[in-house]
Structures are given as structure tokens and as C-alpha cells.
């Protein structure tokens, strides 16, 4: 495990004993899985106490086969003075897509959260203006979910099975 991983993990475990459900080093930087109920205070702590003041990006991910962890929100934080980056993930099931909004901590999360709402249907509680952002307002589904195939469902010439995988 990297030094950064151990440092952040020990701080987080000290502060929020039950918040981190999984941690490890990805190929580029450390990843921490955070309980949803602790998400907001963990982000606040990381920003004010540990210097991760820059929210680089944030997006939703959909794993239809993962049951309780079907929907994932990914946050990527950057500590500019020391050039350290970490990634946080927050898992949730389709029935519980409400997440506390972190716009009060990172103003830049405003449009990122609107994008995640637009494409995946996360409902950010406390968001100042949660509307669709890139798609039209009349749209009644969240298009980046995996159940919406990009191409015509009747088309089967592009299946992996034809290529040995």
C-alpha cells in the first residue's frame, strides 16, 4: 500500500471509525469506499483538515449486476500543494439514490451533480438547483444507465460472442 493511502486511511479511521468500507491502491492512486451517511463529513474533513481542496471531477457509474452496490458515485480530490490525488466512491442501490449534495463544500460540484442526476438519476438532497443539464427537460429516463443500449436492440452483429469473448 502506498504512503498516501496509509496516511489518509489512518486519519479517516480515527475520525470516522465506520465510514471506510474498503480501501486500496488503484493503478494510479488510492481509492476509498465511503458509507453514504458519512460522505458529506468525510469530504468536509478531507477539504479542511487534509488539504484536498480541489474537486477534480465527479461522475456516476452503473454496475447493473452488483445488487446493493448498483450505483456508484466517484469523487476525485486533489491536494494541490503536495500534488496528491485520491478517489472516493460511494455505493448505493437503485432504491436509495438520494445522496447529500456537496455543493456547500465544493461550489464546482453544482454542475457535476446536475450531470450525474441527468445521466444516472442520483437525487442530491440540498442541491440548490437540481435540474437536467445536458439533456432536454422533457426526457423521462436517465440515459447513461446500462439498460439503455446505444444501438437498436434487434441488432446482434456487434455482440462480443462473435469475437471469442
Partner 1 sequence: MSIEKNNLSNLMEKDYTTLNLGPTHPATHGIFQNVLTMDGEIIVKAVPTIGYIHRAFEKLAERRTYSQVTPITDRLNYCSSPINNMGWHMTVEKLIQCDIPKRAEYMRVIIMELSRIADHIVCDTVIAVDTGAMTGFLYLFQWREKIYEIFEEICGARLTTNIGRIGGMERDFPEVAWKKINAFLEEFPAALREFDKLVTRNRIFMDRTVNCGPISGERALEYGFTGPNLRAAGVDYDVRVMNPYSSYQDFDFKIPVGTQGDTFDRYMVRMQEMWESLSIVRQACDKMPKGDFHAEVPDFYLPEKQDVYSKMEALIYHFKIVMGETEIPTGEIYHSVEGGNGELGFYLISDGGRTPYRLHFRRPCYIYYQAYSEMIEGGMLSDAILTMSSMNVIAGELDA
Residues that bind partner 1 in the complex, under the rule CB under 8 A: 26-29, 31, 53-57, 59, 61-62, 74, 76, 80, 83, 85, 87, 106-108, 110-112, 115, 119, 132-136, 143-144, 150-151, 158, 160, 163-165
Cα–Cα distance between 129 and 154 in angstroms, integer?
38
DSSP string of 15-81?
H-TTTEEEEEE-SSSEEEEE-GGGHHHHHHHHHHTT---EEEEEEEEE-TTSGGG-EEEEEEEEETT
Rounded least distance, CB 15 to partner 1, Å:
23
Rounded least distance, CB 21 to partner 1, Å:
17
Rounded least distance, CB 159 to partner 1, Å:
10
Q: Which is nearer to partner 1, 18 or 157 (CB)?
A: 157
Q: Which is nearer to partner 1, 16 or 74 (CB)?
A: 74
Contact 34, 88 (CB under 8 A): yes
Rounded least distance, CB 98 to partner 1, Å:
22
Longest alpha-carbon distance in the chain:
53
Three-state secondary-structure class, residue 89: strand
Q: Which is nearer to partner 1, 17 or 81 (CB)?
A: 81
Q: Which is nearer to partner 1, 18 or 137 (CB)?
A: 137
Helix (H) or strand (E) holding 14: helix 3-15
Q: Which is nearer to partner 1, 16 or 54 (CB)?
A: 54
Amino acid at each position: 500500500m502506498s504512503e498516501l493511502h496509509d496516511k489518509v486511511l489512518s486519519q479517516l479511521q480515527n475520525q470516522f471509525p465506520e465510514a471506510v468500507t474498503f480501501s486500496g491502491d488503484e493503478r494510479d492512486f488510492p481509492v476509498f469506499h465511503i458509507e453514504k451517511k458519512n460522505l458529506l463529513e468525510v469530504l468536509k474533513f478531507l477539504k479542511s483538515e487534509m488539504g484536498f481542496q480541489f474537486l477534480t471531477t465527479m461522475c456516476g457509474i452503473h454496475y447493473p449486476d452488483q445488487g446493493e452496490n448498483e450505483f456508484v458515485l466517484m469523487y476525485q480530490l486533489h491536494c494541490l500543494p503536495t500534488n496528491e490525488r485520491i478517489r472516493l466512491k460511494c455505493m448505493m442501490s437503485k432504491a436509495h439514490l438520494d445522496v447529500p449534495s456537496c455543493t456547500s463544500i465544493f461550489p464546482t460540484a453544482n454542475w457535476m451533480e446536475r450531470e450525474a442526476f441527468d445521466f444516472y438519476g442520483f437525487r442530491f438532497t440540498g442541491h440548490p438547483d437540481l435540474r437536467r443539464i445536458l439533456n432536454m427537460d422533457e426526457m423521462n429516463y436517465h440515459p447513461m444507465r446500462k439498460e439503455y443500449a446505444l444501438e437498436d436492440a434487434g441488432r446482434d452483429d456487434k455482440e462480443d460472442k462473435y469475437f471469442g469473448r
